A and B are shown apart, each in its own frame.
Chain A
Amino acid sequence: MHDDLILVAWTLVKVLAITLPLVIAVAMFVYWERKVIGWMHVRLGPNEIGPLGLLQAFADVVKLLIKEIVVPANANRFLFFMAPLMALIPALAVWAVVPFGQGVVLSNVNAGVLYLLAMSSMGVYGIILAGWASNSRYALLGAMRSAAQVVSYELAMGMALVCVLVLAGSLNLTAIVNAQQGGLLHWFWLPLLPVMVIYFVSGVAETNRAPFDVAEGESEIVAGFHVEYSGAAFAIFFLAEYANMILVSFLAPILFFGGWLSPFPTSWGLLGAPGFFWLFAKAFVFAFLFLWFRATFPRYRYDQIMRLGWKVFIPITIVWVLVAGCLKYFHIVTPGA
């Protein structure tokens, strides 16, 4: 009993050690997004609060927390306040299986990839409930768009993951990274190049980011599913969305770019050694891509999003599962060489 209690307490400490930096990373990511998009628009971006505007995100959080939460008339109060939590809980829970280095993981489960899929499919409830409980037409339309989009792109994402599993021969995320040992050309991006692109684009679509952000297309349906939310409730939706973006940026290197492995040969000393900084550097590149996409591409039309998901991505991934199987069967790609 006593040992059990210590185990629970120690796990709680580890959970906090992941969650608190994640929340701070979200705040800095929001600042970085506004800065980058500012530069791309030839503006300065936030530059008033704190040195270089670094405290801007924290000022925004304080502002959101002290604002009033307006509940629409005839809204379902219980579900209205449950919805942001239903969005946030899976977004945080999914980090339990993400490894940050060799053995640096909260839960090194064998079914890690399956857990990722399960948790990311739970996130859609927050959006649907927010749309329905708000008792607003715009919110309901946004929720329907978002749910249809998330459900369809989950399929393409799942099939892309299957290709990685076939090559790695494991569902464990640490084992997947270890299967990519042997340098830049042994990482899975090379044999799975189309699937890697599909995975990341589906990740952008799953997190409802531009150019797939029809769920909150302000030109048509104001702000979509969270149009009626204000203050802290809105802040929680915001936090969940950005936590999911950071998650996709971490998973792309883990699955396709060798995670914490170094791109350089081991003879290069510190540069050639694996380390968590490689994972963070790679994740930073993918996180930057999210912002670059947002500043570059116009919003997709809704029917074109569906066409891209069902008629382009899913057929390509199905074919590539077969290709990955052949690569593995004929020993063209050998894991952990």
Chain B
Amino acid sequence: MSIELLAFYLFASVAVVAALGVISLRNSVHAVLSLVLTFFSIACVWLLLDAEFLALALVVVYVGAVMVLFLFVVMMLDIKVAATREGFIRFLPVGIVVAVVMLLEMLALIGVRAMRVAAPSDPATAHGMANIQWLGQALYTRFLLPFEVAALILTVGLVAAVALTLRRREGVRHQDAARQSQAQARDRVRLVSMPAERNEESRP
């Protein structure tokens, strides 16, 4: 057994155990952290497949940004343990339906791949290029239009999210940083010259 196979089994089993932890741990912060561990193990598995761009993008986007926000929300919530356990039976039918559909899809995928006699080799390695270079060339030449459309949709989504939460309120004072940094000492402090004074008692 080669080191790579050993590493695959290690990462895969960590991913499965962590995924089980996500749905079974009682402490919701622990559950979020085990979801982070799942993502990270899957990224390691992808690295073994030479898909370094996908793996690192998964870590940068999901582990580094999305899950941090997730963790924040969960930390701020005061979740009663009993209340979260109640939903388990209620949502079980929906969960089973989703699991069965996913199982069927996976089996279909495995079936389609098994029907091919020889699996197509990785086009990037066939051309002697790095995975990330191949992906970049494909995205910016063949799939340029879909790529740009996707970017536009994301930008629209971003602007829409900001527009939804933006409200103009009356009577709110805003700070103007440009004016703040332009303030001079003579605008705020007035130096007054006056003759020296002495109290009656302190006079010798």
Contact surface of A with B, Cβ cutoff 8 Å: 1, 4, 7-8, 76, 79, 109-111, 114-115, 117-118, 121-122, 124-125, 128-129, 132, 140, 144, 147, 151, 154, 171, 303-304, 307
State whether the Cβ of B107 lies closer than 8 Å to any Cβ in chain A: no
Query: B68 contacts A4, CB within 8 Å?
Result: no
A8 to B6, CA, bound (A): 13
Query: A109 contacts B52, CB within 8 Å?
Result: yes
Residues of chain B within 8 A (CB-CB) of A125 are 36, 68, 71
Within 8 A of A (CB), among B46-68: 52-53, 56-57, 59-60, 63-65, 68
- Contact partner of A110 among B29, B30, B132, CB < 8 A? B132
- Contact partner of A114 among B2, B36, B53, CB < 8 A? B53
Residues of chain B within 8 A (CB-CB) of A111 are 52-53, 56, 130, 132
State whether the Cβ of B155 lies closer than 8 Å to any Cβ in chain A: no
Encode B132-170 as 1/0 by CB contact (under 8 A) with A: 110000000000000000000000000000000000000
State whether the Cβ of B91 lies closer than 8 Å to any Cβ in chain A: no
Shortest CB-to-CB span from A308 to chain B, Å, is 9
Contacts A/B (CB < 8 Å), 5 sampled: A114-B132, A125-B68, A128-B71, A303-B175, A307-B177
A111 to B56, CA, bound (A): 8
Q: Beyond the given A111-B130, A121-B64, A171-B132, could you list 5 further A-B residue pairs with CB under 8 A, ordered by the A residue number?
A: A1-B2, A111-B132, A114-B56, A118-B56, A140-B75
Query: B56 contacts A115, CB within 8 Å?
Result: yes
Shortest CB-to-CB span from B187 to chain A, Å, is 20
Query: B64 contacts A124, CB within 8 Å?
Result: yes
Residue on B nearest A120 in the bound complex, by CB: B64
A109 to B50, CA, bound (A): 11
Query: A117 contacts B60, CB within 8 Å?
Result: yes
For the complex, would chain A's binding face be called helix, strand, loop or mixed by DSSP majority?
helix
> How many pairs, one residue from A and one from B, have CB atoms within 8 Å of each other in the complex?
68
Assess A128 versus B56: contact at CB under 8 Å? Given A1-B2, A4-B2.
Answer: no
Query: A110 contacts B130, CB within 8 Å?
Result: yes
Query: A118 contacts B65, CB within 8 Å?
Result: no
Query: A118 contacts B68, CB within 8 Å?
Result: no
Query: B3 contacts A118, CB within 8 Å?
Result: no
- Contact partner of A4 among B3, B36, B59, CB < 8 A? B3
Assess A122 versus B64: contact at CB under 8 Å? Given A114-B56, A114-B57, A304-B177.
Answer: yes
Encode B22-59 as 1/0 by CB contact (under 8 A) with A: 00000101100100100000000000000011001101
Shortest CB-to-CB span from A75 to chain B, Å, is 13
Query: B65 contacts A151, CB within 8 Å?
Result: yes
Query: A132 contacts B56, CB within 8 Å?
Result: no
Assess A151 versus B68: contact at CB under 8 Å? Given A121-B60, A171-B132.
Answer: yes
A111 to B129, CA, bound (A): 13
- Contact partner of B63 among A7, A121, A151, CB < 8 A? A121
- Contact partner of B60 among A8, A110, A114, A140, CB < 8 A? A114
A118 to B54, CA, bound (A): 12
- Contact partner of B59 among A76, A109, A118, A132, CB < 8 A? A118
Residues of chain B within 8 A (CB-CB) of A307 are 177
- Contact partner of B29 among A4, A7, A79, A147, CB < 8 A? A79
Residues of chain A within 8 A (CB-CB) of B175 are 303
A8 to B65, CA, bound (A): 32
Assess A8 versus B3: contact at CB under 8 Å? Given A117-B60, A118-B59, A154-B64.
Answer: yes
